[in-house]
Homo-oligomer: A and B are copies of this chain.
Amino acid sequence: MTTPLRLGIAGLGTVGIGVVKIIQAHADLLTERSGRPVVISAVSARSRSKDRSADLSGYAWETDPVALATRDDVDVFVELMGGADGPAKDATEAALDVGKDVVTANKAMLAHYGQELAQTAEAQGAVIRFEAAVAGGIPVVKALTEGLAGNEIRRVMGVMNGTCNYILTRMESSGLPYEDVFEEAKQLGYLEADPTLDVGGIDAGHKLSLLASIAFGTQVAFDAVELEGIQRISIEDIHHAADMGFKIKLLGVAQMTGRGLEQRMSPCLVPATSPLGQLDGGTNMVVMEGDAVGQIVLRGAGAGEGPTASAVMADILDIARGYRISTFGKPAARLTPAKAAKATAPAPYYLRMELQDKPGALAKIATVLGEAGISIDRMRQYGHARESAPVLIVTHKTTRDSLDHALSGFAATQVVMGEPVAIRIEEV
């Protein structure tokens, strides 16, 4: 019971230092809770000379993360370097190959190599834990894998990229266009070095693919996530959506349908009064729906030193307590290949277009929709001083196929100026 659990931590950025600080500050608390001391044997990072806000003098230093991962005095390899490939993956594999447990915050690595890493882990009797990879400090992996384990999961949804949510809510509150707020976020250091990871929905898509694997017992299939970023969201659409009682969110949705597994990460409208609609700024939210439990909503900080380190510590303490669980909640060999849904579930859509100001224009649009089998829930035409009139339409539920059919029909009418905007309305 009192054998210490010995960690090797690779990556001493914000999160790594956060973990070191917690272990130093709360040593007694952690021992009481997990039943054994949690200690750091060795650390590793790109630069040893960098000034860091924690005292690392008590730990061995390894230049090579692979060497760190395989040290005799390391029980758990804590991978906080990031990056799908390269040193993170090499060191993770090296740790698993010698039967060491791995705790990681690396969503990209798991989204791309989750299945093979899980298989390696299980072959060696090791576990991989990744609470910090999804929604920062919120214990969503634990809630889904363990807390809701008695449920057949119906749907998992979430706002899982705080930067995108910051940009969208800041656009609404400031009235500034996307480009300006994007620059603001960049200045504030909110964006990844490659901002497409954030605003293109890739980072959030990685997270969604991990939750989908747990929820539906399928192999991680990040390549099958339909990805659409927030770059084309205009301030006009944010304002019009608000007028109609909606917010625009970069929303991830995974659900198992008769047509296969649907995974989408894309801008959606959600009711302004729903928990997701009320989520402002950089906060994350994950919604899980199970056949027995109904809807569970979890909300909290999705990034940052403390929250992410808190999630890493939860995994470490579970291992200290002796918890052993398959990476994605059931044995890797039992995870089924995800059959990607050919089409997304029907939904209402928000449409915005500019109509030429001439008689019969609106009738033509309505006719196209009718012919595509799409009925109109609400429509608004705004007053205008130009030669075109902005028109908003909220449709009843329709398929994406019917919608695409209608969109090409609009073009043929020659009364629609420019490209119509179509955004899915998710029922939440």
Residues of A at the B interface (CB closer than 8 Å) are 18, 22, 26, 29-30, 32-35, 131, 137-139, 142-143, 146-152, 217, 273, 275, 278, 290-301, 304, 306-307, 309-314, 316-318, 321-326, 329-331, 334
When A143-B147, A298-B297, A306-B292 are in contact, do A32 and B322 touch as well, CB less than 8 Å? no
A294:B309 contact, CB within 8 angstroms: no
List B contacts of A291 (CB < 8 A): 306
Query: Which chain B residue shows the least CB distance to A139?
Result: B147
The one of B217, B301, B324 in contact with A322, judged by C-beta atoms closer than 8 angstroms, is: B324
- The distance in angstroms between the C-alpha atoms of A380 and B408, with both chains bound, is 59
B294:A137 contact, CB within 8 angstroms: yes
Chain B nearest CB, measured from A14 CB (Å): 12
- Chain A binding surface SS class: mixed
Query: Which chain B residue shows the least CB distance to A316?
Result: B150
Q: Which 5 A-B pairs have the closest CB atoms?
A: A150-B313, A139-B147, A293-B310, A137-B293, A292-B306
List B contacts of A149 (CB < 8 A): 30, 33-34, 313-314, 317-318
List B contacts of A329 (CB < 8 A): 33
A146:B317 contact, CB within 8 angstroms: yes
List B contacts of A316 (CB < 8 A): 150
List B contacts of A312 (CB < 8 A): 150
List B contacts of A150 (CB < 8 A): 22, 26, 30, 309-310, 312-314, 316-317
A152:B29 contact, CB within 8 angstroms: yes
Q: What are 15 sample pairs from A and B whose C-beta atoms fall under 8 A apart?
A: A18-B292, A22-B150, A32-B331, A138-B296, A139-B148, A142-B146, A142-B147, A143-B147, A146-B314, A148-B310, A150-B309, A150-B313, A275-B278, A297-B300, A322-B322
B292:A330 contact, CB within 8 angstroms: no
Q: How many of these chains are in the complex?
A: 2
List B contacts of A314 (CB < 8 A): 146-150
B151:A310 contact, CB within 8 angstroms: yes
- The distance in angstroms between the C-alpha atoms of A331 and B291, with both chains bound, is 35
Most chain B CB within a 10 A radius of its CB, from A273, A290, A299: A299
- The distance in angstroms between the C-alpha atoms of A130 and B3, with both chains bound, is 28
The one of B35, B146, B152 in contact with A139, judged by C-beta atoms closer than 8 angstroms, is: B146
Most chain B CB within a 10 A radius of its CB, from A34, A150, A326: A150
- The distance in angstroms between the C-alpha atoms of A304 and B291, with both chains bound, is 13
Query: Which chain B residue shows the least CB distance to A285?
Result: B297
List B contacts of A142 (CB < 8 A): 139, 142-143, 146-147
List B contacts of A278 (CB < 8 A): 273, 275, 278
Chain B nearest CB, measured from A118 CB (Å): 14
List B contacts of A334 (CB < 8 A): 32
List B contacts of A147 (CB < 8 A): 131, 139, 142-143, 311, 314
Chain B nearest CB, measured from A321 CB (Å): 6
Query: Which chain B residue shows the least CB distance to A18?
Result: B292
The one of B138, B293, B310 in contact with A292, judged by C-beta atoms closer than 8 angstroms, is: B310
A293:B307 contact, CB within 8 angstroms: yes
Chain B nearest CB, measured from A213 CB (Å): 13
B296:A300 contact, CB within 8 angstroms: yes
Chain B nearest CB, measured from A13 CB (Å): 16
Chain B nearest CB, measured from A130 CB (Å): 13
Chain B nearest CB, measured from A46 CB (Å): 25
Query: Which chain B residue shows the least CB distance to A304?
Result: B294
